[in-house]
Amino acid sequence: MTEYGLSSFNKIMQLSVIIVSWNVKDLLDKNLESIFKFTKDLDFEVIVVDNTSTDGTVPMIANKYPQVELILNNQNLGFAKANNQGLEIAKGNYILFMNPDMELVENSFKILFDYLENNKDIGIVGCTLKYGDGSVQKSVKNFPELADQLLIELKLHHIFKTKSLKHYLAEDFNYSQEQLVNQLMGAFLFCRREVVLKLKGFSQDYPIWWEDVDLCYRAKQQGIKIVYTPITSIIHHEGKSFEQQPSLFKQKRFLKGMLVFFKKYKPYYQYLILLICYPKSLFLAWLVQVLKIKPKTQSKI
């Protein structure tokens, strides 16, 4: 993985916003429009890394948002690598990794910038994410363990709500209260530059998903404080890129990420148990696809 060499850049920006895009032109348009509408009193740049969109995303950005720094890939490099590409050229003292399916409703970037300026001991912060109807999205979790991931792998989490599963999903989390957390959703991570450099960006071991889990896990291992705060909120039109993919494809990617995480950080026997259950999980995903059942994301369980 590249070491980025970011120390050689003059840090002329207060904030670099990095957005990875793939075939979500209309949502990205709303995203960028809201950024430039609401962000005030902040020296910032926006970097969009496009993973070969075919829906007119690139000409839309070029025509409507010429101030955006655009990186064009000739193949879909996935979430982690594309974000790291943006990180390589980012000039901000703070780095925000932000999904394209989000929309600002207030000057959230400045609010969070000021928050970290006033709380020097915090390395990563996330805010309240809301669906389009105004309801709060579950964006905080604890780190995964074998028991809860087995339930999810075998799709039993829709039936059994065990203590382990409830803990992993942080079902008792109070989203009206500021708290130290283990894991924030990777859709919106507002980070100190030095923290991101220390972590060397996202791990590129994952095909898609689990990169945010890995980042937060490594941060906690190194004593970096991660905080959720309700001082501002952002609309999140969740998962629109991957709604375009069939259930079996998504399940394969999710499970591969799970296996990578457990192989890296957990006892080997736990990895083997999840690996043995892998074919069963794919079969269940195939059934969901054939029966045209719309699966729920974990934030909606």
Q: What value does the mean pLDDT take over residues 207-214?
A: 91
Query: What tokens were used for 272?
Result: 């083997």
- 239-287 tens-digit pLDDT: 554 554 556 777 888 999 999 999 999 999 999 999 999 988 887 766 6
| Model pLDDT, residue 9 | 44
Q: What value does the mean pLDDT take over residues 169-174?
A: 96
Answer whether residue 293 shows pLDDT above 90: no
- 125-171 tens-digit pLDDT: 999 999 999 999 999 999 999 999 999 998 887 777 899 999 999 99
| Model pLDDT, residue 236 | 97
Cα 24–Cα 29–Cα 30 angle in degrees, nearest 5: 105
| Model pLDDT, residue 34 | 98
Domains defined for the chain, CATH in brackets? 6-138+173-243 (3.90.550.10), 247-300 (no CATH)
| Model pLDDT, residue 23 | 94
Q: What value does the mean pLDDT take over residues 216-238?
A: 97
Looking at residue 227, its amino acid is: V
In residues, how long is the chain?
301
Answer whether residue 288 shows pLDDT above 80: no
Beta-strand pair 92-98/122-130: unpaired
Answer whether residue 195 shows pLDDT above 50: yes
Answer whether residue 6 shows pLDDT above 50: no
Going by pLDDT thresholds of 50, 70 and 90, the confidence category of residue 238 is confident
Q: What is the dihedral angle through the alpha carbons of 71, 75, 76, 80, rounded to the nearest 10 degrees? A: -60
Higher pLDDT, 117 or 238: 117
- 65-80 tens-digit pLDDT: 999 999 999 999 999 9
Phi/psi at 36 (5° precision): -75, -20
Higher pLDDT, 9 or 193: 193
| Model pLDDT, residue 36 | 98
| Model pLDDT, residue 275 | 96
Beta-strand pair 122-130/188-192: antiparallel
Q: What value does the mean pLDDT take over residues 186-214?
A: 95
Q: What is the dihedral angle through the alpha carbons of 82, 98, 35, 51, rounded to the nearest 10 degrees? A: 30
| Model pLDDT, residue 8 | 41
DSSP sequence for the chain: -----GGGS---EEEEEEEEESS-HHHHHHHHHHHHHH--S--EEEEEEE----SSHHHHHHHH-TTSEEEE-SS--HHHHHHHHHHHH--EEEEEEE-TTEEESS-HHHHHHHHHHH-TTEEEEEEEEE-TTSPBP--EEPPP-HHHHHHHHTTGGGT---HHHHHHTTTT--TTS-EE-SEE-TTEEEEEHHHHHHHTSS-TT-SSSSHHHHHHHHHHHTT-EEEEEEEEEEEE-TTTTGGGS-HHHHHHHHHHHHHHHHHHHS-HHHHHHHHHHHHHHHHHHHHHHHTT--PPPGGG-
Query: What tokens were used for 35?
Result: 């950024």
Bridge partners (DSSP) of residue 121 are: none
Q: Which of 289, 285, 124 is nearest to 218 (CA)?
A: 124
Average predicted confidence (pLDDT) for the chain: 90
**3-state SS, one letter per residue, for 224-257:** CEEEEEEEEEEEECCCCCHHHCCHHHHHHHHHHH
- Whether this prediction's pTM lies above 0.75 is answered by yes
| Model pLDDT, residue 290 | 60
Q: Which of 217, 226, 227, 224 is nearest to 198 (CA)?
A: 224
Going by pLDDT thresholds of 50, 70 and 90, the confidence category of residue 11 is low
Q: What value does the mean pLDDT take over residues 74-89?
A: 95
- 25-70 tens-digit pLDDT: 999 999 999 999 999 999 999 999 999 999 999 999 999 999 999 9
d(CA 226, CA 261): 20
Number of Cβ within a 10 Å radius of residue 198:
13
d(CA 115, CA 91): 20
Asked if 186 contacts 212 with a C-beta cutoff of 8 angstroms, the reply is yes
| Model pLDDT, residue 286 | 62
Bridge partners (DSSP) of residue 19 are: 48, 98
